[in-house]
Chain A
């Protein structure tokens, strides 16, 4: 059984249970009950990489992008608090 999880990710039932995998390259990121984000390639960028009006966020937030570690398709993009990123 396969059903979508979100854009570019799906939940697929394999012989050893349910897995979250990339729909573009079929790479298995994590088991369905685990945090797929932890398996992603992660990039932290200056807030203004999301647009010039994000300048007001500088020093407080950074722009986090998550990619499939196998094919590099972008899976998520959001601002995260800089202090939580060490």
Chain B
């Protein structure tokens, strides 16, 4: 195909229009999805790919799925060959040993033809509510190999030349505990891919294949060119980060980033071997999480496409937590080793950016993710359901920056439904959902505050719900401080069995103090558990890490944090060295100066 020289204005217009298609795909998913995970929590991806599977335009979503869906497109091309791929076909793939990250993330992939020529692909994923794994919802803490983690499809034609293959569709939904909900989610993916196809074909009709081909190729070249230039402007160096996940013992992830010229090498040598627990990440997932970290740190303003991957090399030894070998279990990989890799990659990139006068303004204290829980059981309408309690990271506190505090409960890409909506849908009663006092990592600029919540059963016909504890288990989760900033409070999940919550409610006493509720407290590792009458599940998600020395924080900002119940008066004094008057909570500046001097002396002796 002839390469046009694309004028800058046309390039900008068409480039943005391609990205707009991915946004419209996302809207289609949200409006037609079958579960809260898709419609409100936005756990999905919607992106466009070139005919060979290279990323053409990434949607506003997780970076790792953008990459993995590209792998999925290539696997479909390899499996079917161009002679078996027809206009209006639609494929399904969810095999984590080929392209997906874990089985519930089901990729729906659509070839897009114009005048009978393959001109691109669209791909979506949503996290369907069940895949027939040993544990409802798919995240299976007891799985020791992939065969226990649900259906695993290496690529199948779900729609053939525009006609839904009802036998195939029915077979897939039949393998799940929630066939109706899964069917709706698969159909919302089909709908979103149909939107992509219609919009891309309209662009081809309007602008012609030659120009469209040139624009999408130039988008990738442009991103690669600018990214390489940015990397070249940064001093070469080596940076390292580690993270320990607790899964029947410590599992250590280690990453060394080498930046040389215009190339980045992410080397995971030294990472622990894979384990018989579903926290192992497939290699393409490791690529994806590194892609996301680069995209969001130094390429966020560029067209989001394959160009981001071009300067990157990944070294991930086989048989480790970041390159699992068959048939290791992977069902909890996204939210454990996956988020772990994302943290490591972000952390080393932040260290790299700190060496650049231009880029140090963009540094954010990195976060190592959080715990989460999925429930399943019969709801108050006597329907079986499986759902995520707190959308991954949606209410995490964000890391602080060089010149400002982290965003309180700012979260990441996903959203979290409000408490009332959750109670309407599921047999739960929330005791509270609020900002957790003293959770933010202290610093000259503090991290964002995390959310803590607690809930108990309410109107549950079976008197119980199943639970699965997943996420990043271990005490190094949550936000890490940067350059003297303190870490955020660990993310935790606690079950209080046999509490007095019913007595509190009957007596009209607000059940807002978890310790006062009594009961037997259990810290939940990766495990299945049951939530029964009078049990209370407490969760605190990740808090943001701080930036710089807390003793350099503006005392007035500390005062505001105390007034806003973000920092306790005790922490204001002991960590920030700020003395507030008891009467009107004003800053006592002289007492503050003296206290800060004293605190420094206590820690470092004669130096100060």
User: How many angstroms between the C-alpha atoms of A14 and B356 in the bound complex?
Assistant: 19
Given A3-B235, A8-B483, A76-B484, the answer on whether A51 and B571 have CB atoms closer than 8 Å is: yes
- Candidates B356, B402, B607; contact of A67 at CB < 8 Å: B607
What separation, in Å, do the CA atoms of A6 and B350 have in the docked complex?
9
Stretch at the interface among B106-114, B208-216, B415-423, B473-481: B473-481
Q: In the complex the two chains form, what is the Cα distance from A81 to B442 in whole Å?
A: 20
Residues of B within 8 A of A75 (CB): 483-484
A11 vs B540: C-alpha distance when bound (angstroms): 40
Q: Known contacts A54-B490, A70-B607, A78-B480; is A60 also within 8 Å of B475 by CB?
A: yes
Closest to A72 in B: B607
> What residues of B have a CB within 8 angstroms of the CB of A85 in the complex?
none
- B490 and A77: CB pair below 8 A? no
* B484 contact from A7, A45, A54, Cβ within 8 A: A7
Chain B contacts for A61, CB-based, 8 A: 475
Q: Are A72 and B600 in contact (CB under 8 A)?
A: yes
Chain A proximity of B343: nearest CB distance (Å)? 13
Known: A50-B486, A60-B475. A11 touches B355 (CB 8 A): yes
Contact B354 A52 (CB under 8 A): no
Contact call A73/B549, Cβ cutoff below 8 A: yes
Q: Which residues of A contact B244 (CB under 8 A)?
A: 81
| A-contact 0/1 string along B513-557, CB 8 Å cutoff | 000000000010000000000000000100000011101000000
At the interface, yes or no: B221 with Cβ under 8 Å from chain A?
no
Q: B607 contacts which chain A residues (CB < 8 A)?
A: 41, 67, 69-72
For the complex, is B603 an interface residue (Cβ under 8 Å from A)?
Answer: yes
Judging by beta carbons under 8 Å apart, are A65 and B492 in contact?
Answer: no
- Which chain B residues lie closer than 8 Å to A72 at the CB level? 600, 604, 607-608
With both chains docked as a complex, state the minimum distance between the C-beta of A41 and any C-beta of chain B, in angstroms: 6
Q: How far is the CB of B568 from chain A (nearest CB, A)?
A: 7
**A52 with B484: CB separation less than 8 A:** no
Residues in chain A near residue B481, CB distance under 8 A: 77-78
Contact call A53/B490, Cβ cutoff below 8 A: yes
Q: Given the complex of chains A and B, what is the CA–CA distance between A79 and B442 in angstroms?
A: 13
Do residues A56 and B484 form an inter-chain contact, with CB atoms below 8 A? no
Q: Which of A7, A45, A79 sits near B483, CB closer than 8 Å?
A: A7
Contacts of A71 in B (CB 8 A): 607
- On whether the beta carbons of B485 and A77 are closer than 8 Å, the reply is yes
Contact with B along A22-43 (1 / 0, CB 8 A): 0000000000000000000101
Chain B window 414-447, contacts with chain A (Cβ cutoff 8 Å), 1 for yes, 0 for no: 0000000000000000000000101101100000
Q: Kindly list chain B residues whose C-beta atoms are within 8 Å of the C-beta of A81.
A: 244
* Bound: A45/B480 CA distance, A: 17
| Residue numbers in B under 8 Å from A57 (CB-CB) | 475, 490
**At the interface, yes or no: B487 with Cβ under 8 Å from chain A?**
yes
Are B604 and A43 interface neighbours, CB within 8 A?
yes
Q: Is the CB of B604 within 8 A of A67?
A: yes
Which of B442, B492, B523, B549 has a CB less than 8 Å from the CB of A51? B442
Residues of B near A50 (CB, < 8 A) are 441-442, 486-487, 575
Give Cα A11–Cα B235 distance, bound, in whole angstroms: 10
CA distance A81 to B242 in the complex (A): 12
- How many chain-B residues does the 8 Å CB contact rule pick out? 43
Q: Does the CB pair B604–A3 fall under 8 Å?
A: no
Q: Is the CB of B360 within 8 A of A51?
A: no
Residues of A with C-beta under 8 A to B438:
51-53
Given contacts A11-B235, A79-B476, contact A52 B568 (CB under 8 A): yes
Known: A4-B355, A71-B607. A52 touches B487 (CB 8 A): no
Please indicate which of the listed interface residues A7, A41, A81 has the most CB atoms of chain B within 10 Å of its own CB.
A7
Q: Please judge, given known A-B contacts A41-B607, A70-B607, A78-B487, whether A7 and B355 are in contact too, CB under 8 Å.
A: no
In the complex, residue of chain A having the shortest beta-carbon distance to the beta carbon of B567: A51
Is residue B168 contacting chain A, with contact meaning CB distance below 8 A? no
For residues 557 through 588 of chain B, which have their beta carbon under 8 Å from a beta carbon of chain A?
568, 570-571, 574-575
| Known pairs A72-B607, A74-B549; A6 contacts B483 (CB<8 A) | yes
- The reply to whether B571 and A77 form a contact with Cβ atoms under 8 Å apart is no
**Cβ of B78 under 8 Å from chain A:** no
A58 to B579, CA, bound (A): 27
List which A1-26 residues lie within 8 A (CB) of chain B.
Answer: 3-8, 11
The answer to whether A5 touches B355, judged by C-beta atoms less than 8 angstroms apart, is yes
Pick from B356, B360, B490, B571: contact of A52, CB under 8 Å: B571
CB distance from A54 to the nearest CB of B (A): 7
Q: Is the CB of B360 within 8 A of A4?
A: yes
Complex interface residues of chain B between 583 and 608 (CB less than 8 A to chain A):
600, 603-604, 607-608
Contacts of A70 in B (CB 8 A): 607
Q: Tell me, in angstroms, the Cα distance from A78 to B235 when the chains sit together.
A: 26
Task: Give complex CA distance A61, B575 in Å.
Answer: 18
Chain A residues near B608 (CB-CB < 8 A): 72
Contact with A along B329-366 (1 / 0, CB 8 A): 00000000000000000000001001111001000000
| A52-B571, A69-B607, A76-B483 given; A7·B548 CB < 8 A | yes
> Separation in Å of the A18 CB from the closest CB of chain B?
10
User: Which of B436, B480, B485, B547 sits near A53, CB closer than 8 Å?
Assistant: B436
Known: A75-B484, A76-B484. A3 touches B355 (CB 8 A): yes
Q: Given A51-B571, A67-B604 in contact, is the A74-B354 Cβ separation under 8 Å?
A: no
Answer yes or no: B126 CB below 8 A from chain A CBs: no
Task: State whether the Cβ of B489 lies closer than 8 Å to any Cβ in chain A.
Answer: yes
A54 and B551 CA atoms in complex are apart in Å by 19
Task: Give Cα A31 to B523, complex, Å.
Answer: 45
State the CA gap A5–B357 with chains docked (Å). Answer: 10
Q: Give the chain A neighbours of B436 by CB distance below 8 A.
A: 53
Chain A residues positioned under 8 Å from B402 (CB to CB): 7
Task: Output the nearest chain A residue to B246 by Cβ-Cβ distance.
Answer: A60
A51 near B475 with CB under 8 A, answer no
List of A residues within 8 angstroms of B441 by Cβ: 50-51
Contact of B604 among A7, A41, A53, A77 (CB under 8 A): A41
Chain B nearest Cβ from A72, distance in angstroms: 4
Question: Besides the contacts A49-B575, A77-B484, what 4 more A-B pairs have beta carbons closer than 8 Å?
Answer: A4-B360, A6-B483, A53-B540, A79-B476
* A-B complex: 4 closest residue pairs judged by Cβ atoms: A7-B483, A53-B489, A72-B607, A74-B484
